[in-house]
């Protein structure tokens, strides 16, 4: 391929070999979403959302008002309606006669399994709701959840929702200090944790981080710590600590769900912190659940009576909230929940799970796809994977090579792939193909979903023409939009609504192609300016990964006396290429490779071969740290890295 630059006028946005993928006819025949969805939304957007909400959710008090935007940018959706979020995810499916349907096929990292039906999950959540109420948790109270990816995590989130309290899930990989800061910011009354979780054959303790966090400043609001026994590891015990199994056994089994206003806060979730200090993003109930259910159903083509869905995200991320907990359960779908990593105890575990549970729809991140590519296609090729019919991607732009590999090797050249763009702040998917409608282009998120209006604009806020790139903005409010930053309304306005008045600006750059499709290029902070040319890191990375010897690449712009900024590339070689590598020859070859693929202007000043890239615990590359290294600065804050030691290694290789 020859990834063109943003300014290349010949570029129509399609993958360079022209490959596009229309929906397979057999898929279209049975698809949930058709073209008329776009038409209905275009005809009357608000009426469309109201209709979706009534169709997808059970309202206790039906709403009469759809959107109140008078307090913009703080929206109210369906404000005079009332509902119970947990009842929508559980009880109503049981009442509809689907209590025996499996809600969760749980597989623990060590191989223990649990099969939980909707009736069982409903019963567990009812009891857990009573348990929380017995501990004094009331509607509006904040509960911090710091758990492994086990069924109790889902039960806890839904039990909190059921009583109208607010959860704030903190990813189990975060440190005691990150946890402390979030407990303090949220003013949590209760922390739910586990003794430990399983990871790569060993127990990784969680409770000690809670103990340490609670010795820190600003955590006096916490009255109890509820501890799930999972790892069996020895832990210290304090007066405030309670075992989950003791309290759960004591609790009453039946719980009547109260109806809460649509704008009742449902959760606070701190963004992953790729760009700076994490923000406590607030989401509410009716609008959030509407769009989570709507997108889950239409983007993933959900047929609840026959699909087995698997989203590999941890519940500590927004993807785990919307597409492990709320979307799938609101839709009454059967899903897989897996505690461990893709390759434990040996490579291929994920693909074994796909075969074991008959997974039909798989939703994961480009970083996982690239890791699988690096491990080699013979691993998935040794499995059947016949049940898969649709694949999804989220978290970063997916480079066309990874997209093609994902489709060919995992999808057997048959499955559509939906590349879904959205953020913690948007609450649910915003831009994505619809698998039964859209002609797919590898590497592009493509179309705003029906009901969403997105526009790419230039510095002055003027709309981009086809072929141009600029800033990705959303022009109309949407049901699952964030309602603010916890405790800091000014920061919400300042961060998202001030750059382009009247528009939500997401921080991402994108290009519009000749057919009106959107290509997300990543964060605008990551766009470089080399001798006056705007170059996107994503495009150069795509070119590098297109080389047979490169498994992964990250590109940054480093200050340069002559060109303003210069391209510096960090690459991980494939196992074969790394063997006995001649570093100088390889880096020279890769520089020329980019030069011929994109143009001399994009040729990296330096290519650094590294063993690993600095990634957050959600798998995203932290380019700001690589920029520090490339510019010879002291390396910035590495505390949210999956492997905090990697930057020292990389700095040594510069």
Mark the segment that binds ligand ATP (CB under 6 A) among 167-175, 212-220, 388-396, 544-552.
388-396
**520, two tokens:** 């997300």
Binding ligand ATP by CB under 6 A: which of 87, 195, 401, 419? Answer: 419
Which part of the chain contacts ligand ATP (CB under 6 A), choosing from 12-20, 151-159, 205-213, 394-402?
Answer: 394-402
Question: Of the listed pieces 147-155, 389-397, 486-494, 546-554, which binds ligand ATP according to CB under 6 A?
Answer: 389-397
Q: Which of 82, 126, 284, 424 is close enough to bind ligand ATP by CB under 6 A?
A: 424
Quote the least distance from Cβ 398 to ligand ATP, whole Å.
7
Q: Which two tokens stand for residue 175?
A: 């440190």
CB atoms within 10 A of CB 441: 24
* Listed ranges 125-133, 168-176, 393-401, 485-493: which one lies at the site for ligand ATP (CB under 6 A): 393-401
Contact segment (CB under 6 A) with ligand ATP among 78-86, 269-277, 290-298, 600-608 equals: 269-277
Contacts of 503 (CB under 8 A, 6+ apart): 455, 457, 461, 473, 474, 475, 497
616 beta partners: 641
Q: Which residue has the tokens 């700095």?
A: 651
Q: How far is the CB of 440 from ligand ATP (least distance, A)?
A: 13
Min CB(192)–ligand ATP separation in Å: 22
Indicate the length of the chain as a whole number: 654
Closest approach of ligand ATP to the CB of residue 85, in Å: 21
Which residue among 23, 99, 257, 278 contacts ligand ATP (CB under 6 A)?
278
d(CA 554, CA 621): 7
Q: Which of 445, 454, 518, 527 binds ligand ATP (CB under 6 A)?
A: 445
Q: Where are the beta strands (DSSP E) in 313-388?
A: 334-338, 361-364
Comparison of 106 and 363: residue with beta carbon closer to ligand ATP: 363
- Per DSSP, helices labelled H in 63-166 are 85-89, 91-93, 118-134, 151-162
DSSP 8-class letter at 447 = -
Among 230, 523, 603, 627, binds ligand ATP (CB under 6 A): 523
Q: How far is the CB of 570 from ligand ATP (least distance, A)?
A: 19
Mention every residue, 6+ apart, whose C-beta is less than 8 A from residue 553.
Answer: 540, 541, 544, 545, 569, 570, 571, 572
Q: Which of 7, 204, 275, 495 binds ligand ATP (CB under 6 A)?
A: 275
Q: Are 7 and 468 in contact (CB under 8 A)?
A: no
Q: Decide: 62 and 41 in contact? Cβ < 8 Å.
A: no
For 142, residues 6+ apart whose C-beta sits below 8 A from its C-beta are 165, 166, 167, 168, 186, 187, 188, 189, 268
Q: Which long-range contacts (CB under 8 A, 24 or more apart) does 409-415 make?
A: 409/372, 409/377, 409/380, 409/381, 410/362, 410/369, 410/372, 410/380, 410/385, 412/385, 412/386, 412/388, 414/24, 414/389, 415/388, 415/389, 415/390, 415/391
Which helix (H) or strand (E) covers residue 469, if one does?
strand 469-474
Q: Which is closer to ligand ATP, CB of 82 or CB of 480? A: 480
Q: Which residues pair with 107 in a beta bridge?
A: 113, 338
Binds ligand ATP by CB under 6 A, chosen from 522, 604, 614, 619: 522
Number of residues near ligand ATP (by CB under 6 A): 25
Residue pair 233/196 in contact by the 8 Å Cβ criterion: yes
Residue 283 in the binding site for ligand ATP (CB under 6 A)? no
Nearest Cα to Cα of residue 239 among 255, 220, 254, 223: 223
496 lies in the site for ligand ATP, by CB under 6 A: no
Residue nearest to ligand ATP (CB): 271
List phi, psi (to 5°) of 185: -60, -40
Nearer to ligand ATP by C-beta: 31 or 428?
Answer: 428
CA distance 103 to 161: 18
Considering only 141, 301, 307, 396, the residue that binds ligand ATP (CB under 6 A) is 396
**107/415 Cα distance (integer angstroms):** 25
Q: Measure the CA–CA gap between 516 and 530, rounded to whole angstroms.
A: 27
Instruction: Name the minimum Å distance from CB 393 to ligand ATP.
Output: 6
Residue list 181-240, contact with ligand ATP (CB under 6 A): none
Give the shortest CB-635-to-ligand ATP separation in angstroms: 18
User: Is residue 539 part of the contact set for ligand ATP (CB under 6 A)?
Assistant: no
Q: Is the peptide bond before 604 cis (omega within 30 degrees of 0)?
A: no
Q: Candidates 237-245, 516-524, 578-586, 626-634: pick the segment binding ligand ATP (CB under 6 A).
A: 516-524
Distance of closest approach, residue 600 Cβ to ligand ATP, in angstroms: 27
Identify the residue among 230, 547, 620, 623 touching ligand ATP (CB under 6 A).
620
Stretch of 40-48, 53-61, 105-113, 414-422 contacting ligand ATP, by CB under 6 A: 414-422
Which of 395, 557 has the CB closer to ligand ATP?
395
Only one of the segments 61-69, 138-146, 421-429, 435-443 lies at the binding site for ligand ATP (rule: CB under 6 A); that segment is 421-429
Closer CB to ligand ATP, residue 132 or residue 510? 510
Closer CB to ligand ATP, 474 or 520, in the complex: 520
**Measured between alpha carbons, how far is 247 from 356 in angstroms, rounded to an integer?**
34
273 binds ligand ATP (CB under 6 A): yes
* Closer Cβ to ligand ATP, 78 or 496, answer by number: 496
Taking the least distance from each CB to ligand ATP, the nearer of 261 and 435 is 435
And the tokens for 210? Answer: 């809670």
Decide: is 495 part of the binding site for ligand ATP (CB under 6 A): no
Shortest spacing between CB 390 and ligand ATP, in angstroms = 15
Q: Is residue 614 within the footprint of ligand ATP (CB under 6 A)?
A: no
**Contact assessment for residue 429 and residue 476, using Cβ atoms and an 8 Å cutoff:** no
- Least Å from the CB of residue 252 to ligand ATP: 38
Token code pair at residue 320: 């785990």
Q: Which two tokens stand for residue 299?
A: 């983007």
**Which of 13, 133, 2, 1 is closest to 464 using CA atoms?**
13
CB-nearer residue toward ligand ATP: 420 or 537: 420
Considering only residues 333-372, where is the footprint of ligand ATP by CB under 6 A?
none
Smallest distance, ligand ATP to C-beta of residue 391, A? 13
Stretch that binds ligand ATP, among 12-20, 163-171, 480-488, 502-510 (CB under 6 A): 502-510
Distance of CA 97 to the CA centre of its chain: 32
Report the interface residues with ligand ATP, using CB under 6 A.
271-275, 278, 317-318, 394-397, 419-421, 423-424, 445, 506-508, 520, 522-523, 620
């Amino acid at each position: 391929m020859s990834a063109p630059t943003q300014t290349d006028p010949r570029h129509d946005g399609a993958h360079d070999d022209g490959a596009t993928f229309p929906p397979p006819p057999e898929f279209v025949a049975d698809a949930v979403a058709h073209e008329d969805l776009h038409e209905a939304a275009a005809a009357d957007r608000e009426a469309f959302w109201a209709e979706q909400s009534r169709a997808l959710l059970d309202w206790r008090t039906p709403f009469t008002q759809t959107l109140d935007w008078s307090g913009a940018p703080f929206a109210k959706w369906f404000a005079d309606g009332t509902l119970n979020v947990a009842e929508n995810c559980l009880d109503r499916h049981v009442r509809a006669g689907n209590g025996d349907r499996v809600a969760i096929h749980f597989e623990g990292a060590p191989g223990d399994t649990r099969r939980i039906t909707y009736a069982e999950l409903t019963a567990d959540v009812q009891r857990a709701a009573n348990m929380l109420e017995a501990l004094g948790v009331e509607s509006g109270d904040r509960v911090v959840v710091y758990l492994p990816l086990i069924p109790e995590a889902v039960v806890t989130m839904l039990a909190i929702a059921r009583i109208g309290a607010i959860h704030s899930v903190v990813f189990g990989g975060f440190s005691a200090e990150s946890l402390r800061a979030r407990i303090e910011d949220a003013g949590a009354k209760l922390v739910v944790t586990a003794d430990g979780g399983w990871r790569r054959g060993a127990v990784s303790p969680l409770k000690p981080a809670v103990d340490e966090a609670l010795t820190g400043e600003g955590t006096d609001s916490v009255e109890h710590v509820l501890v799930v026994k999972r790892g069996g590891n020895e832990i210290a015990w304090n007066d405030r600590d309670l075992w989950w199994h003791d309290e759960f056994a004591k609790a009453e089994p039946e719980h009547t769900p109260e109806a809460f206003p649509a704008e009742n806060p449902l959760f606070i979730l701190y963004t992953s912190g790729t760009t700076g200090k994490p923000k406590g993003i607030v989401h509410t109930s009716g609008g959030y659940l509407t769009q989570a259910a709507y997108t889950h159903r239409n983007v993933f083509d959900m047929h609840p009576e026959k699909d087995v869905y698997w989203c590999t995200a941890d519940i500590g991320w927004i993807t785990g909230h919307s597409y492990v907990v709320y979307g799938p359960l609101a839709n009454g779908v059967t899903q897989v929940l897996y505690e461990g990593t893709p390759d434990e105890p040996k490579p291929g575990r994920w693909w074994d799970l796909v075969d074991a549970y008959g997974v039909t729809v798989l939703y994961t991140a480009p970083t996982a796809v690239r890791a699988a590519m690096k491990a080699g296609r013979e691993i998935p090729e040794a499995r059947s994977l016949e049940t898969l019919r649709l694949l999804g991607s989220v978290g970063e732009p997916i480079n066309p090579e990874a997209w093609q590999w994902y489709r060919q090797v995992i999808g057997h050249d048959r499955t559509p792939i939906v590349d879904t763009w959205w953020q913690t702040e948007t609450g649910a998917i915003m831009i994505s193909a619809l698998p039964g409608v859209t002609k797919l282009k590898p590497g592009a998120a493509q179309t705003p979903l029906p009901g969403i209006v997105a526009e790419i604009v230039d510095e002055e806020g003027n709309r981009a023409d086809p072929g141009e790139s600029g800033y990705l903005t959303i022009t109309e409010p949407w049901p699952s939009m964030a309602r603010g930053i916890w405790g800091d309304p000014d920061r919400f306005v300042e961060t998202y609504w001030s750059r382009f008045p009247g528009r939500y600006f997401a921080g991402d750059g994108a290009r519009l192609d000749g057919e009106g499709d959107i290509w997300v290029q990543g964060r605008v902070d990551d766009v470089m300016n080399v001798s006056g040319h705007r170059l996107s890191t994503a495009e150069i990375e795509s070119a590098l990964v297109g080389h047979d010897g490169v498994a992964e690449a990250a590109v940054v712009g480093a200050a340069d006396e002559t060109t303003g900024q210069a391209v510096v590339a960090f690459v991980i070689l494939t196992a074969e290429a790394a063997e006995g590598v001649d570093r100088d020859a390889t880096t020279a070859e890769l520089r020329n490779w980019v030069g011929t693929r994109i143009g001399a202007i994009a040729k990296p000043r330096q290519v650094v071969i590294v063993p690993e890239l600095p990634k957050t615990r959600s798998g995203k590359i932290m380019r700001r740290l690589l920029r520090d290294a490339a510019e010879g600065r002291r390396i910035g804050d590495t505390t949210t890295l999956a492997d905090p030691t990697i930057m020292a290694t990389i700095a040594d290789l510069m």
